[in-house]
A and B are shown apart, each in its own frame.
Chain A
């Protein structure tokens, strides 16, 4: 059985943390660098006194669970990992134990955080909240193990979303700029959902804080920079998709400006949820011009990130790290009062210049 644990650890746990190193880097930077111990304490105590906040937290934890499951499913679908289906031949007890260990380790960040909350809850005698946390953890583990066990028995089974999009897909032609959206539905649903939920939450939070007073336009400016940069992983996968799955299109007769326009349209579609939330929550106290430049600012950051990927192919961890440090530049620019439209224009000009200079010289190899 030890050999099974070793194989499962190497293929599903170590790879999970390796492939999501960028995500954990940003998470750690936010959790340990931006938030102080006291703020974590207040947040946990607030959740232990509010069912609504606890509900929101469990929603975030559920999304993380989806992320782990999505990784396991994708790993099982990859050819080099298909030997893992041999797990079906093991007795149910051993199989379930193996999967429980895998998901326990993948789910470790949530278990640790919830563990601290449970300890705090026990100290402060918040019995109902503690019970809910424990029930959530047990349910999450049970769901993860049973869903994965089912996948081992029914490999390649398409879900309803995939069936629906496949059925729809044959019925109409897909414009070039929309192809990555189909890729998201096919392979990056959880990532998309997590990104959009986080960015929309940040915009709503900034709008509420601004409305409460005490903040000027720099607060939403900083948040919009964060939102633009938070697209980093989606932008990275978009670039990968264009240069690996659609590599043949470099042979197609499109001019560089036409290619850049198509990429910009895709990025604009990706940012539609944030744009809608921004308009919905800020139209009452910001001018339409400010809102437009805010949306343009987010889009221009995503476009700049995309263009920068043509300078040199980078592994995702390094790219995210560089982007995180790049955020400091935007932060300082906003704090020193540089208007969003000016940064937007600068981003677009630099992105265009980089794209034109590097697109034809770029070769995807990692």
Chain B
């Protein structure tokens, strides 16, 4: 269960998000919103990438008070990932995998399922946007997270990879992992059992519907 209290995020004097109180139960949640509404800022804040005011806890673990344990349980896949041009997918998967205590089998399994074998040992500087996206998705599934946030997980990847992402989400969800997804494309509800839809609008997050 993710609990957010008195959450505020400003860029300079501009208020981006203000969430007084919000509780997200375990499940798959779709965070919708227009461009620039603050979805990515919300995800990055929850991932501990950028500072904010307020309190965020996941099953009692506070992002601010237990930063290491919290980060071990929360993974994030960026919408437009950026990695050092000289590192390979292999380097990054093992670097993040070691930090998140992912088994070697899990690392290899993700590489195979996302069909990354062909470019695994090439430097990121040579990757297409789809390859970078696959890498960021692989990194987001490493370890034993309790919550995974995927920002625009379906953009730039091919149909096979889309099917694989759906399958991974279903598989991890069966292991009680909570998902926060943002996407401008509609999800295939027949394949992906989205529980709740939230809307980021007017600098806050409101529940739109349950499915």
State whether these chains interact: yes
Binds B, one of A26-34, A115-123, A213-221, A252-260: A252-260
Closest CB-CB distance, A78 to chain B, in whole Å?
12
User: CB-nearest residue of chain A relative to B51?
Assistant: A361
Q: Give the number of residues in A that approach B within 8 Å (Cβ atoms).
A: 31
A337 contacts which chain B residues (CB < 8 A)? Answer: none
Closest CB-CB distance, A247 to chain B, in whole Å?
6
> Which residues in chain B, 47-95, are within 8 Å of chain A measured between CB atoms?
47-51, 64, 67-69, 71-72, 74-76, 78, 81-88, 90-91, 94-95
The 21 sampled A-B contact pairs (Cβ below 8 Å) are A169-B87, A169-B88, A170-B88, A170-B121, A174-B87, A174-B91, A179-B84, A182-B86, A245-B83, A247-B49, A248-B49, A248-B81, A248-B96, A248-B139, A250-B47, A252-B71, A253-B72, A254-B99, A256-B67, A360-B51, A361-B51
**Quick one: given A169-B123, A176-B95, are A251 and B74 in contact (CB under 8 Å)?**
yes
Asked if B86 contacts A241 (CB within 8 A), the reply is: no
Closest CB-CB distance, B73 to chain A, in whole Å?
9
> Which residues in chain A, 324-366, are within 8 Å of chain B measured between CB atoms?
360-363, 365
Closest CB-CB distance, A188 to chain B, in whole Å?
12
Asked if A363 contacts B51 (CB within 8 A), the reply is: yes
Residue B133 lies at the interface, judged by CB distance under 8 Å to chain A: no
How does the 8 Å CB contact mask read for B153-183 relative to A, with 1 for contact and 0 for none? 0000000000000000000000000000000
User: CB-nearest residue of chain B relative to A361?
Assistant: B51
Taking Cβ atoms with an 8 Å cutoff, the residues of B that contact A are 11, 47-51, 64, 67-69, 71-72, 74-76, 78, 81-88, 90-91, 94-96, 99-100, 121, 123, 139
Closest CB-CB distance, B184 to chain A, in whole Å?
22
Asked if B86 contacts A169 (CB within 8 A), the reply is: yes
Closest CB-CB distance, A250 to chain B, in whole Å?
5
Asked if A186 contacts B85 (CB within 8 A), the reply is: yes
Which of B68, B84, B86, B91 is the one whose CB lies under 8 Å from A254? B68
B85 contacts which chain A residues (CB < 8 A)? Answer: 186
A250 contacts which chain B residues (CB < 8 A)? Answer: 47-49
Asked if A170 contacts B90 (CB within 8 A), the reply is: yes
**Quick one: given A252-B96, A360-B51, are A183 and B82 in contact (CB under 8 Å)?**
no
Asked if A253 contacts B123 (CB within 8 A), the reply is: no
Taking Cβ atoms with an 8 Å cutoff, the residues of A that contact B are 165-166, 169-170, 173-174, 176, 179, 182-183, 185-186, 241, 244-256, 360-363, 365
**Quick one: given A250-B48, A252-B99, are A360 and B64 in contact (CB under 8 Å)?**
yes
A185 contacts which chain B residues (CB < 8 A)? Answer: 86
Closest CB-CB distance, A284 to chain B, in whole Å?
41
Closest CB-CB distance, A190 to chain B, in whole Å?
17
Asked if B84 contacts A246 (CB within 8 A), the reply is: yes
A361 contacts which chain B residues (CB < 8 A)? Answer: 51
- The CA of A245 and the CA of B125, in the complex, are separated in Å by 12
**Quick one: given A248-B139, A250-B48, are A360 and B67 in contact (CB under 8 Å)?**
yes
Closest CB-CB distance, A364 to chain B, in whole Å?
9
B49 contacts which chain A residues (CB < 8 A)? Answer: 247-248, 250-251
Asked if B51 contacts A251 (CB within 8 A), the reply is: no
A251 contacts which chain B residues (CB < 8 A)? Answer: 47-49, 71, 74-76
